Structure 1
């Protein structure tokens, strides 16, 4: 009788079976809920910045899908650069400038509040001001960054690029001459110095510097564009043509290629004609100094 009772107790619909089903649901339930609420990965500035090369519009999605506690500055940094890259350079530049000048409101000494990181933000602010066609503001941003990290070559080049666009080539030459043998960002240093020398009419020295830049980066279209101008001024139209044609071949859709085509058109119509004496237009489209963070 006892055996029969135990078998009957486990029949479907019996109180015992219902109890077992309830216990089973209570046992498996919390595991399912725990898996669904697994913590999101933390926000990482470098990962967010990496999205900018693919699609800057994805930045907000990245931020919303990652844990962001304590990363207000880093989030603002990434979003500001995304603004610049999606066409709102002015807003991005203003935000980056603000971030460079203010310290974090949370943990003192956090990674996004270090002197070096604020200097990096100042460098990005300078680049953003270039994108907004405001070289004076770019010079101010880079100059502020240099108060934080006075030995930064990248910030010096950003400031000098701005000064060149502001028609101060002699200041640029004085600032860059001591860096002639410095290996850090050497190609950019010689390129910018050559632009300044070209602007002052120092063609021989400009040729020396642009050749040094191209030795380090043979396919840099900005340097090739400038060497073409220098060669044309030194009565080497064939050399100039070769440089400008190479620019078009290397980066046919770039702004440098558009300028090279213009120079080639002038050269074809009048081989003795010289390119415009004002090279600020060319300097204005020079490739930004690479980000070092």
Structure 2
């Protein structure tokens, strides 16, 4: 899920911020502009902030900066908004820290991402999205036990998220516990038989077990289900490696 998608989910209901219906519409219009024409969104948000747009205007500006490629500037702005929010808005502040972390990941600065994920979870320890995001950051750093701890907590809070089990499968695979890895793949695919990340993981496990044809079949399905995504790119690479060895 991208930063803008998270934003639209997290920041609905602008009247909670003391905004009028017109201001809420201006905010949503600005978010859409941040996706379609981010440079215009930044310009509009700056003007709106001067007219009293507050955090909503700053938030739109941050997203526009990120989508313009000024990712670090956008991340810093998201952090500043989160840091200055009052306690009664802790849930939104935590989500903003999560969005800033996503931006730092995009900027290839995972330590800064981890810092913001930690800050967000201090405010909202039961935020499942933040737990999954931090688990991913840990996993990418090879910290698989820490990743599993967050994923276990997330699973306790929400058992209906297939990505939790797919990420747990990856952690267990790296820890060479193939039985638990496959068990988690199965749990993910029970929730969503077409969940691409779980199929990618199942292919990797099949390849390790010598079932090359089964791995190739899973990866072909990933490419078909999730074209033009990093998951599909990884599956395609696996298919190409299998085909090279076959020839």
User: Structure 1 length as normaliser, TM-score?
Assistant: 0.68
Aligned to 2:106: 131
Q: 1:76 to 1:66 in 2, by over 3 A?
A: closer
Q: 1:223 to 1:46 in 2, by over 3 A?
A: farther
Determine if the alignment matches structure 1 residue 218 to structure 2 residue 199.
Answer: no
| Richer in helix (by share) | 2
Higher relative contact order (CA 8 A, sep 6+): 1
User: 1:261-285: per-residue Cα shift (whole Å, max 9, x none)?
Assistant: 21111111226xxxxxxxxxxxxxx
Residues 175-184 or 92-101, more deviating: 175-184
Distance 1:84 1:158 in 2: 18
Match of 2:208 among 230, 233, 247: 233
Q: Would you say how many aligned residue pairs link Structure 1 and Structure 2?
A: 225
Distance 1:64 1:94 in 2: 16
Shift of the alpha carbon at 1:54? 4.2
**Is the 1:116–1:148 Cα contact (8 Å) retained in structure 2?**
yes
Determine if the alignment matches structure 1 residue 147 to structure 2 residue 129.
Answer: no
Shift of the alpha carbon at 1:87? 1.9
Question: What secondary structure is seen at the aligned counterpart in 2 of 1:93?
Answer: helix
User: Structure 2 length as normaliser, TM-score?
Assistant: 0.79
Shift of the alpha carbon at 1:121? 0.6
Unaligned runs of 5+ in 2: 1-20
Aligned to 1:169: 144
From the CA coordinates, give the structure whose radius of gyration is larger.
1
Match of 2:58 among 76, 95, 102: 76
**Is the 1:42–1:66 Cα contact (8 Å) retained in structure 2?**
no
Determine if the alignment matches structure 1 residue 88 to structure 2 residue 70.
Answer: yes
Distance 1:256 1:176 in 2: 20
Match of 1:194 among 148, 169, 181: 169
CA RMSD of aligned residues (A): 2.7
User: 1:211-242: per-residue Cα shift (whole Å, max 9, x none)?
Assistant: 22233233333332222112211222122111
Q: 1:224 to 1:68 in 2, by over 3 A?
A: farther
Aligned to 2:84: 102
